[in-house]
Structure 1
Amino acid sequence: MYKLLVVDDEKWVRQGLSLTIDWMAEGIELIGEAEDGEEALQRIQTDSPDIIITDIKMPRMDGLDLIEALRHQQKKAYVIIISGYNDFEYAQKALKYGAYDYVLKPIEETVLLEVVRRCVNDLEQDNKRHRQLKEMSGRIRESLPLARQHFLEMLLLGRIVDPLGDLEARWQALNMTLDPNCLTVLVVKIHHWGTRATREKDRSLIRLALGNIAEEIMMSWGQAAACPLDNNADTELAVLFSRGNFASGKKNDTVDAFSNGMIALVDAAQRYLGITISIGISREGNLVKVAQCFEEALNACSLSFYDGFGKVYDAARLPMREKKLQAYIGPDGSWETRLIQAMKQADNSAVNEPVEQLIEHLQAARDQSSPLDVSRGLRVLLQSVAKRWEAAHPFMKAPGIDVFNETILNRDFTLTELREQLPDALLQCAYESRGTGNHKRIVELGMHFSHQHYMEGITMNDVAEHLYLNPSYFSKVFHGEVGETYSKYLTRLRMNKAKHLLKTSTLKVYEIAEKVGYADFRHFSKTFKELEGMTPGKYRDLGI
């Protein structure tokens, strides 16, 4: 069972999160609440929660500061941010700082539970990997390649902070043949997977094959050790390389020759595996600087967003920057709102205007942010657009979202391709919204009105009147889109609200009947029993 801590400066929010969700049924133990980040840190020191749900804005220490403090203290916990529409910029920063995900206010129980369940699933996967690695360490002699892979991955990701002497001892124990004082990191980003990678298993095999090809090609230049990265958003493969005795000439000449030689890997990837790749190469460092070199190689490779795929990008050829670069968070705080409004209009020029603003901002960001920060920030921004579009359609699947996910979120593109493809994807969402429109929008508005007024004893005629529609037409449209009559939908809505109150409140049954729109208590009880198979009182007693 996983442990949960709720952090919010508003007592009613904390109590709502604590009481309205059956955490035990989700395999979660609620270990307590905290009013702000400082109190949360004290609880974290003693209770070590696995999941933290926290507001982003709080007095004394807010959600961002809490995440930063957890990073400095190396506390492992999944942090879910609660964010209002006006806090999107902060939410994006929180994701950059390491937050797991964020949920918009007002908090929808189903949305929060979806995020929490993903979180629990990832925790289970982490624990499974931890158990596997623990078992692997006991068989290190029989599985030395796996031990090397794990060590290299942890080294690249900066998760090993041992002194140089300890690192060198582990390096020798794993029989690594590379020179630990002369290491270059090369990263490979796969942009287009071709036709062979239909499953994740296929992609893992392609990463492994690409690593073998890289090691074979780089033998001409020195020693290499490939490290496939199956769960990294920035790259698919890293290769550690140390140059051999051929490099007796000038160092710059050697670097240029090696960089040019890596074009052979780009060509081989296309010829033998059918994939399009870009390569980033770091400057030279030692064991202690491997994580820094990895980040540098990622930065170099991220230039492919600006300058095109299928090329080799060498950090040694890039200018050194003296001032600290800014993180990329998008054009401005209102850009997403303007874009969503333009999509709702389904007007080409209205959509193209914010897209062009984004493109111009991305071009200017090349001199203000690192290429890697631009790539990561753009990914978060586009994910946020998708969430905003889904939030704009709370009672139905967001129109065109599958196309947006497939063509934008789930693939790589250059800046030029983004300019061409983003307007089309956004307009597809807009056109589907209008095209399914009139019927789906009628249903959506009808459901929204029902959720707002179900406690007032409304009928289908009230909804139709609110929408300025003929009742029989509304009934036909609703049944056609939803698959059930409006009367059944409204009854189900009221019964769900009644069940919630029976579980979470001390109201008498007749009071609950009134709360959900039934003036006749006997009619409410009869309807409840027909749907649930028991009386409201029995339902409460059983605590279902």
Structure 2
Amino acid sequence: MYKVLIVDDEPMIREGLRTIVDWGAEGFEIVDTASNGKEGLEKFGQIAPDLTIVDIRMPGMTGLDLIEKVRQDNSLAHFLILSGYAEFDYAKRAIVSGVSGYLLKPVDEEELLDELRRVREQLQREQEARSVRSEHDAALPKAQLVEELLFEEVSADDDHRGKLVEALALSAPAYRIVLLDAYGGSEMESRQHAVFRQRLKETFEEPGGGILFSAGSHIGLLLVRQSHVECGDSLRSHLSDAAGELEFHAACGSVVDNLIDIGASFREAEYLLHSRFFFESGSVIDRSAYDTVFTVSEASEALAENEDGPQLGDKLYYALDIRSREAVEKVLRELEQAALSRRMDEAAVRSEYSRTLSLAIGKLSSGESSAAELAQSYHSLLLSDINQAQNYDVLKKQMHSRLGELIDQFGGANKDTVLKQMIDFIRRNYSENLKLEVLAEMFGYNSGYLGKLFKNYTGEYFNAFVDKIRVEKAKELLTQGLKVHQVAARVGYSNADYFHSKFRKYVGTSPSAYRSEAHDERRGGGS
């Protein structure tokens, strides 16, 4: 049984979690509970739970504070975040802290079961990895020699490395390292791993002179025969036959002609395997396959590196707010280009998507409308999709599907024309850094052409229209007695002097004078 610690300041939640699911049937046992973060931290040190379910908001030490303190000494601990609030800043911190999942109160039984089963699979894989490492002492002598050649700190001792190569007694025209990451979803995974390793030995080691070895949580293969050094369909077929029901990714390092240089092949295989999230299960990744996936145009790279333009989270918010599927698709393509141009690994991809979605949904959720409530309800679904996607293609499809579904729930476009949509958008988002170029991109128009359409429709240039909307709102706020600098910030002007000049231009007096006149009128009206 895997040990579970529950940390929540609400007694009803702590007791309710005990009965909501059959923990034993899922392979878990609740061994203790804690009523606050400090107590939870103490009990974590005492019982070393396999999984900690922790409330994100507690007085004193929050759940995220607890996680960050645990992470200082234990980077492998598993957490499920539990919250009664769809708070996006907290959610982003949780993603950075590497939590296993995020659940909203009241906890849904099926969602909890899904998270528990996913965590159980992670724990089983880690247990198998530890088991593989524990087999080191019982490994074949040649496997030990390869591991020492690759992992021992002997780089400065060429004589020792030479002796290791001599002891391996291999003679081949070429050598290559292949690294494998194998995983499965059943409780028989440990046995499946053992069968997989045995089949690999039968295929590559016993008849071919290859050597099977352990490389942390990965399985390593030193290929020494010319027929097995090629990283192509034949190798993929052999690995698939050996894997059986297990899913796997493999990465091929470069070919070297001297065994003493095999470390270079290993390092390249390790580097390539980090990109496995972008490949389907059963893929064999070599440099050519890697370059094909991560080849992006110079324009895409420039777009991904442009820090002066609107952030993707803001763009996605605009696209969702105007109910435009086309605009959402465009932002998702930009997000993909950013991931590829920066050659992100799995963790970075999940974090970037979580950050972007949280920013967009957070802005959509800031109001009091039914659309805001609907957007808020989708946040945990989107984060769950991102965390659970098996590979990048699945993640992309889930994002396209889920965001399209959200737009459908909004009711599609809520104005008859693009120009009416623009005006409605400006009136609701006047305090944002609105730019015609960004809105034109969202609506799929050339900015110059859209600017002319806007001028003909409203009689005002875009920037002048935005200024007038802001000034009208500023007049309302000044009448309420707010200070000039407060009003400037609320209506979208970061520079109070610039706000002052715009206000005088359209009203004919200064903001402070207008506020004083409004104050005098209220006093006069009340006398």
For this structure pair, what is the TM-score category when the shorter chain's length is used for normalisation? Answer: 0.3 to 0.5
- Name which one, 1 or 2, has greater alpha-carbon Rg: 2
With normalisation by structure 1, the TM-score equals 0.43
